[in-house]
Amino acid sequence: MNELPFIKMHGAGNDYVFIDGFETRLPDNPSELSVAISHRGFGVGSDGLVLLIPPTDDSSDVEMRMWNADGSEGSMCGNAARCVALWMNVNRRLGDTCRVRTVSRMVNVTAVDSGRDRLRDRLHGRFRVDHGSPRFDVDCDERTELLADVCVPELSQLDQLKFVALSMGNPHAVFVVDQLTDLLVRQVGAIVERHVRFKDGTNVEWVRVLSRREIELRVWERGSGETLACGSGACAAVAACVLQGRCDRNVDILVDMPGGQLSVCWADSGELLLTGPAEVSFQGVWRGRASVSLKM
């Protein structure tokens, strides 16, 4: 049976299994492996699988490929990018800035601080991700749409289904609501994720605005279900709230999620800057399915 070394890391509870391609032969069936290794009852347990791949040229420091818990490939993850930068940093492969190439875009990740938590003996740090500019689907002032054909008997307030669609290198639908309920997040979120409006599926953000500089957020992630945090989702939520005049631009907006707090600044230059923690939970060796083979 093959043995595959891995690192378990998380950003505000958004956890992934990472395979370090600088040190380890990479799996040739990451989709199948992601399903098996992400299972919280029979695997390591995670929101998905991330591969760190040595770059093919000098334009980046590392390439990041990610697969969701259901085996579908994702295109961008701000929390995973911070974890990648942390691992590159503690292995002394670079300085305080890491250029991470993803499927959809290049992002620069800068260390705010890093070190070892002596109480828990875990590597950790805070990093800021330059997430780039948002791209909105609809060209109008508030860019809101109303989602039709969603049949949930318990949902009577149809105005809650007004949303903003945008891309942060991956698709998002942001809903601003008065209350964050399990009905909206889990039941309606699962419907919206695969709604015909979104041909490739979408991440779904449910936002409650607390002030002009703080929001509360729960996310139904495409391919993984509800997660404790979502970096690109936090960026999408802040962009939608700023666009609608609910939050301020060019300042750090606090984003409270079940797994912890991130901050997002939509700078006047156009980029969304995401700041938050990254932490190594543990390292191990996967001795799972015998069908998992490794590239030589």
What letter would DSSP give residue 168? Answer: S
User: Which of the following is catalytic: 230, 235, 241, 265?
Assistant: 230
Q: Which residues contact 48 (CB under 8 A, 6 or more apart)?
A: 16, 17, 34, 38, 66, 67, 68, 69, 74, 80, 223, 224
User: Which of the following is catalytic: 77, 98, 241, 247?
Assistant: 77
* Backbone angles phi and psi of 99, in degrees to 5: -95, 110
Per the structure block, which two tokens stand in for 272? Answer: 């969304």
DSSP helix/strand/coil, 28? coil
Rounded Cα distance between 179 and 201, Å, is: 24
Is 151 one of the catalytic residues? no
Closest C-alpha among 198, 290, 214, 281 to residue 246: 214
Residue 245 CB neighbours (<10 A): 11
Name the amino acid, one letter, at 71: G
Rounded Cα distance between 157 and 256, Å, is: 25
Rounded Cα distance between 58 and 80, Å, is: 22
- Classify burial at 136, counting beta carbons within 10 Å of its beta carbon; exposed 0-12, middle 13-18, buried 19 or more: middle
DSSP string, 261-283: EEEEEE-TTS-EEEEEEEEEEEE
State the catalytic residues: 77, 230
